[in-house]
Amino acid sequence: MPKIIGLTGGIGSGKTTIANYIASLGVPVYIADDAGKKVMQTQEILEAIKEQFGAAVFDENGLNRAKLAAIVFENPDKLKALNAIVHPAVRQDFNNWLIQYKEAPIVVYESAILFESGSYVNFDCILTVTAPLETRINRVLERETISREQVVNRINAQWTDEQRIVKSDFVVENIDIDLAKLKIDEILKILSIKQ
């Protein structure tokens, strides 16, 4: 079995950029958010979401993720309820994905809510990506059509960098991408040696 690295960081930290860099080095990377979007298209999950949140989060095109996000990021209990529906399906999807890479020395599982979901306990080590708060806010505003207040609400719905760092084996500050990549190279070398 491969060594499983949990990769996390708050919204706008650049963890997906780091995950893509790691993947470019030939390390298999599982993006939990992509898997979540995929499982949320299955009939079973859609029915569970409709039962929990009602028809208001659906429109003529099906599930309206923006409406759902607006609800769950305003209400921690609603977010927990959504996670209780989606996380078991993502966990199963990851286990199926892992079978393809059972010969790989290292695989990476990337998730913004590794700690909040409790799934961090399943990994051999945790790598947290950080960035200054304003940098994170600006990155999200550049890529999504949401308000600053909505970004701050999402940040506040997640653990703080300080909370993540305490439970992490490695921390990469992602302000300068070239420096962050060098740090990733060092970490991967350390993990390869520890095999």
Q: What SS3 string covers the chain?
A: CCEEEEEECCCCCCHHHHHHHHHHCCCCEEEHHHHHHHHCCCHHHHHHHHHHHCHHHEECCEECHHHHHHHHCCCHHHHHHHHHHHHHHHHHHHHHHHHHCCCCCEEEEECCCCCCCCHHHHCCEEEEEECCHHHHHHHHHHHCCCCHHHHHHHHHHCCCHHHHHHCCCEEEECCCHHHHHHHHHHHHHHHHHCC
12 and 131 Cβ atoms separated by less than 8 Å: yes
16 annotated to a ligand binding site: yes
Q: Give me the residues paired with residue 58 across strands.
A: 63
User: Could you tell me if 110 and 31 are in contact, meaning their C-beta atoms sit under 8 angstroms apart?
Assistant: yes
Q: Is residue 50 marked as binding?
A: no
Do the annotations mark residue 80 as ligand-binding?
no
118 is in an annotated binding site: no
For tokens 């306990």, name the residue. 121
13 assigned to a ligand binding site: yes
Residue 14 annotated as binding site: yes
List residues forming the annotated binding site: 12-17
List residues forming the annotated binding site for ATP: 12-17
